Amino acid sequence: MCCCRTCPPRAAGCGARWSGRCSSSPGDMWNYGIGMDWAGLLVERIAGCSLGEYLRAHVFEPLQMHSTGFAPRADAIRAALYARQAGGSLASAPNAPNPDRDFDAGGAGLYATPRDVLRLLQSILRAAQGSTQEVLQPQTVAEARRNQIGLLEVRDLPTCAPERSSDLVMSPDTKKWSHFGLLHLEAQPGGRSANSISWAGIANTFFWIDFEAGLAAVAFAQSLPFLDPSVLALVGRYERCLYAGLRAG
């Protein structure tokens, strides 16, 4: 993805977020960038409303995702955030709302619950199975879930903030990218099928959709750093138990 130096009018207060140099020429490599933020601004320009308003009308309300939005509900009970300490214990970590948010970013910033996220994943799964009553049509899901980067590969992402994230090292079967996230080209032993998609958030919030098995799953830990080995082990056990139950009937 490419960072552009020109700052869109609505994002004029975003500073360095919109002023970085390109890490490569477009099409030369995959990178974790701000492409989805630009896509969100494009939606706003076409729809004539904020991204939050558009998503509320076309995604959140149709799917009854009543706890999802760019600002937490006034009556919401926000989950605490914890950080792993040097000795292995967990301690409470700062988790205040972002005071600098001045636009609805397409790439980050939503508040939600695991139940709401699962409602969205289930809708995508139903569309993949042929339902035309979802927020995305079957042909849209079919296009979005395929490899979008051709012969390029998703690269490892070394951390620039070890207190927030460990290095992200991709396994050989997760080197492709779909519009939904990582595309797993091979089945996982005891787990998800080939051509599943997945991604995760910084607070160790994981999701995946297994189109072949007809399964969508979430696992939210609400802890730092991202890719904490203890959390990864727990999510791995969770996945294996889910699929063991499926195979047992």
How many other CB atoms sit within 10 Å of the CB of residue 16? Answer: 7
Enter the tokens of residue 155. 């690269």
The residue among 1, 39, 5 whose CA lies nearest residue 21 is 5
**Rounded to 5 degrees, what angle do the CA atoms 11, 63, 124 make?**
85
Amino acid at 1: M
Beta bridge partners of 181: 178
Backbone phi and psi for residue 227, each to the nearest 5 degrees, phi listed first: 70, 30
Distance CA 157, CA 194 (A): 23
Residues counted in the chain? 249
- HSE of 65 in the Cβ direction (CA atoms, 13 Å)? 28
Distance CA 185, CA 176 (A): 8
Segment 31-51, tens digit of pLDDT: 888 889 999 999 999 999 999
Segment 183-192, tens digit of pLDDT: 999 999 999 9
Q: pLDDT confidence of 85, banded at 50, 70, 90?
A: very high
Q: What is the pLDDT of residue 171?
A: 82
- HSE of 128 in the Cβ direction (CA atoms, 13 Å)? 24
DSSP, collapsed to helix, strand or coil, labels residue 141 as helix
Segment 165-214, tens digit of pLDDT: 999 998 877 789 999 999 999 999 999 999 999 999 999 999 999 999 99
Enter the tokens of residue 99. 């005071």
Peptide bond into 225 cis (omega under 30): yes
The residue among 33, 22, 29, 65 whose CA lies nearest residue 154 is 29
Distance CA 72, CA 214 (A): 31
Residue 99 confidence (pLDDT) above 70: no
- HSE of 238 in the Cβ direction (CA atoms, 13 Å)? 15
Instruction: Find the range with the poorest average confidence among 6-20, 59-73, 148-162.
Output: 6-20
Amino acid at 175: K
Beta bridge partners of 219: 206
